[in-house]
Amino acid sequence: MKNCPVRRLIQSKQGYHHGDLRNALVSAGLKLLEQEGHSEFTLRDLARRVGVSAAAPYAHFADKRALLAAIAAAGFIRLRAALEAAIRSDSNLADRFLHLGSAYVRFGMDHPALYKLMFASEELAAQHGEYLELQAAGEAAFGALTALLEQMQRRGLLRAGDPEADGLSVWAHVHGLTSLIITGCLACVGEPAPQPAEVVSLSLQLLLNGLRGPARAEQIA
Amino acid sequence: MKNCPVRRLIQSKQGYHHGDLRNALVSAGLKLLEQEGHSEFTLRDLARRVGVSAAAPYAHFADKRALLAAIAAAGFIRLRAALEAAIRSDSNLADRFLHLGSAYVRFGMDHPALYKLMFASEELAAQHGEYLELQAAGEAAFGALTALLEQMQRRGLLRAGDPEADGLSVWAHVHGLTSLIITGCLACVGEPAPQPAEVVSLSLQLLLNGLRGPARAEQIA
DNA sequence: ACCTGAACACCGTTCAAGT
DNA sequence: ACCTGAACACCGTTCAAGT
């Protein structure tokens, strides 16, 4: 993005050292998160890797959190792409639902440090009004889910309901699965340790089953 | 715990300044987490509040993470108590399930910083073999859930299944709800922002509905 | 406009030394 | 056994000064 000629001119004028430090910092941060398992890195180290002084990032980001938010936004864009790819599969709608859920969890398992950062940063985005880019990226990823749910409801594959409200339940479920798996909590309980893939599969089936039934089950006295 | 006379003797000998610095640090940390919204505090600040030098904690904890793990373990013990109190209500079993889920989410909403720390520390506990106290506290809290599920299955209120596997699904669901709520992600999506209590109520009903149905839904071609 | 170098106020952690 | 004081190697951030 931002390939407009004006920007190219500015870049070709060349900030005499780097050209495009902003993007360099973001992609270096992404790479660091992929390599290292933990989601914390220092701004100084990142600047060092990019070959720039410790103060240089402050010309492009207000503070460390702003840089983290930019990286998290890139993560949400990738997540959305992964989810839409999973939905585009040519199978039936119910399978698409299951594939969507699996793809969500797999994204977290494949990029645990990035995933953790994404939700740590979403917290900042929610508290402060800033980080609009991050917020928009997050909502777009959520939209991929609600669109599918609405389609399934229209075709009678799910009980009628508010797609957005159901979407929140589904999101909470897959987010919880992802979180427990990548923090290792799932491996902590049970003898022997449960297989993530099986837990996810059974769990999504359970959720889908609930979405087929009536919204409010009859009270049992 | 650890009220054995031997320990009392040691305490009465008095480390000439504090007596029981270990517990003092843990409870000061707990108090700090309740007051401040964020889950990060510095070891130096904690030592300052307790009235001790910055190096003093190292006589009781290997490093900062070990202290955080001890605080997290205390959090899991409180969580378990909250869950068991919710189950003890005299209503029917299905309502107990809903109360249990609500109590879980409410615990997170009431102590957001502590809740985040608990799962950040569980990660360390899972990776390293250490922090046995934390691990045990976490598993005990999980046990309160599986016990209820087993009881409901026996009475035919839920479809037959492995209570531990179903427990993981339920745990993932309520953990996801809690996480999205206390990070503010839930408030980010939807117009107007959804009410946490309603989302939780609808979500738990959905989950319960899924647990009543067949474990494996028939494939729809 | 973009970057550097040096500085500031902090960290977590170590270690000799005190009681 | 438990704690202090001083030190070490770091942080994030600011700011004058350079190009």
Interface test with A, best of B99, B173, B195, B212 (most A CBs within 10 A): B173
* Residues B107-158: tens digit of each pLDDT: 999 999 999 999 998 888 877 766 888 989 999 999 999 999 999 999 999 9
Tell me the angle at which helices A21-35 and A112-127 cross, rounded to the nearest 10 degrees.
130
Question: CA nearest A120: which of A39, A37, A38?
Answer: A39
For range A135-139, the mean pLDDT: 91
Backbone φ and ψ of A91, nearest 5° = -85, -175
Which residue matches tokens 């909250």?
A: B82
Tokens of A151: 């389609």
Considering only CB atoms, A175 lies closest to which of B179, B219, B221, namely B179
Q: What is the 3-state secondary structure (H, E, C) of A22-86?
A: HHHHHHHHHHHHHHCCCCCCCHHHHHHHHCCCCCHHHHCCCCHHHHHHHHHHHHHHHHHHHHHHH
In chain A, positions 142-171, which contact chain B (CB-CB < 8 Å)?
Answer: 142, 157, 164-166, 168-169, 171
Domain edges within chain A:
1-61, 64-220
In chain A, positions 47-106, which contact chain B (CB-CB < 8 Å)?
Answer: 92-94
* Residues B36-51: tens digit of each pLDDT: 878 899 999 999 999 9
User: Which residues numbered 59-88 in chain B sit less than 7 A from strand D, measured from CB?
Assistant: 59-60
Confidence of residue A125 (pLDDT cuts 50, 70, 90): confident
* Residues A161-191: tens digit of each pLDDT: 999 999 999 999 999 999 999 999 998 888 8
- Work out if A53's Cβ lies within 7 angstroms of strand C: yes
Whether residue B213 and residue A209 make contact (CB cut-off 8 A), yes or no, is yes
Whether residue A210 and residue B215 make contact (CB cut-off 8 A), yes or no, is no
CA distance B148 to B174: 15
For range A123-140, the mean pLDDT: 83
CA distance A56 to A218: 62
Pinpoint the alpha helices (H) of chain B: 5-13, 21-35, 43-50, 64-87, 93-110, 112-127, 132-154, 163-183, 185-188, 196-212
CATH classification of B64-220 is 3.10.450.50, yes or no?
Answer: no
* Residues B174-190: tens digit of each pLDDT: 999 999 999 999 988 88
Asked if residue A199 lies in contact with residue B203, where contact means CB atoms within 8 angstroms, the answer is no
pLDDT of residue A141: 92
Whether residue B203 and residue A174 make contact (CB cut-off 8 A), yes or no, is no
